[in-house]
Amino acid sequence: MAKAFIAPLSSSSYLQRVREGFEFIALSRLLDANSRVFLKPNLTYPTYRPGVMTSIEAVEAAIVAVKDFTQHVTVGDSDSGGYYPFSMERVYGDIGMYELGERLGVEVVNLSDLPRKTVEIGGGPPLELELPGLLTEDTDVLITLPVPKIHMYTGVSLTFKNQWGCIPEPKDRLRLHPLLPRVLLEVNRAVHAKVAVVDGAWGLTRSGPMRGDPVALDWLLVADDIGAGARLCCELMQVPLEKIAHLRYAEGAGAVPARNEIETNQAIEPFLRERFYLRRTFSDYPGMLAFRSKFIGHLAYFSPLATVLHKLLYLFREPFYDYDEDARGRSR
């Protein structure tokens, strides 16, 4: 049986809830004083936005709670994976991640800057991918810290999708989008993603991963199985799991337990809020086509036409963030 803990945040602190969750799932079964743990938050935007990103409070609580078991803790993410990427160092500076790491005595890393190891991606035709050696060889347990949000291309971004950011090269993420269900499952296996701490203070509905409507949820979910965490989050968001391609694929591979195979500390029905939904605008469809088609993706991101196509798109759609400002920041 997988185990999952859920509780409100408003009546307690992040730290207390994370510690209660770790006790309920018996994290001591997975960790001892020698265990090497990597914490993977969702840092999708240059500055903090509720429902879009894991809060610094949730990251801090997870670090402190994990250090009850082991001192070998690292935290980080990769540079953003869009056509106009932003550096994770910029995010760390804005949200106070470097100061947090120094205060708590943990290393804060940018996965895009670390040495890489080539891994073979199973489940289909031969495919190789470079991943950080820190995760594939020097981590025993990866704890994912996602937020419950709608994603305009993948349906949701939860306990599996958060590890897409473990692929250190943004261009690799773009070219592998059409193979996401298969690659994502194998990446999770390669980086030892086992435990989920879902920051459910806020969620994001209507769109995502950067835009949408924030929803106050007031819960924290801890699971000893990322598949169990994904199933429960879908239930809490009232999104049918079978409609999410990468979760359907993971379930078919045995990586998502059935609902009756998940033990919870209490019923989750009291934590239901409004039903989450996806609503695309007409300007989202070019990106969706590029996401699903290898040929269109190549035209949109890697061909000589890419810059022109993006300029045409942004005649109709506001950019996700100030690309010119970020370019100036990278040039300094």
Cα–Cα distance for residue pair 305/298, rounded to 1 Å: 10
SS3 161: helix
Q: How far apart are CA 323 and CA 329, in angstroms?
A: 10
Sign of the CA dihedral with 244 first, then 249, 255, and 256 last = positive
**268-313 confidence digits (pLDDT tens):** 999 999 999 999 988 889 889 999 999 999 999 999 998 888 888 8
Which carries the bigger pLDDT value, residue 262 or residue 282? 262
In percent, how much of the chain has pLDDT > 90? 84
Residue 322 pLDDT > 70: no
The residue-averaged pLDDT of 13-23 equals 98
Tokens 């409100």 — which residue?
8
Q: Do 224 and 25 touch, CB atoms closer than 8 A?
A: yes
The helix (H) or strand (E) run that includes residue 30 is: none
Report DSSP letters for 265-294, one per residue.
Answer: SS-SGGG--SPP-B---GGGHHHHHHHH-H
Residues in Cβ contact with 185 at an 8 Å cutoff, skipping those fewer than 6 apart: 123, 160, 246, 249, 250, 253, 255
- Is 60 exceeded by the pLDDT of residue 327? no
Give all domains of the chain, ordered by start, each with its CATH number: 2-281 (3.40.50.11440)
Per-residue model confidence (pLDDT) at position 186: 97
Cα–Cα distance, 126 to 36 (Å, whole number)? 30
What one-letter code names the amino acid at 191?
Answer: V
Residue 262 pairs with which residues in a beta bridge? 2
* Secondary structure letter of residue 43 according to DSSP: -
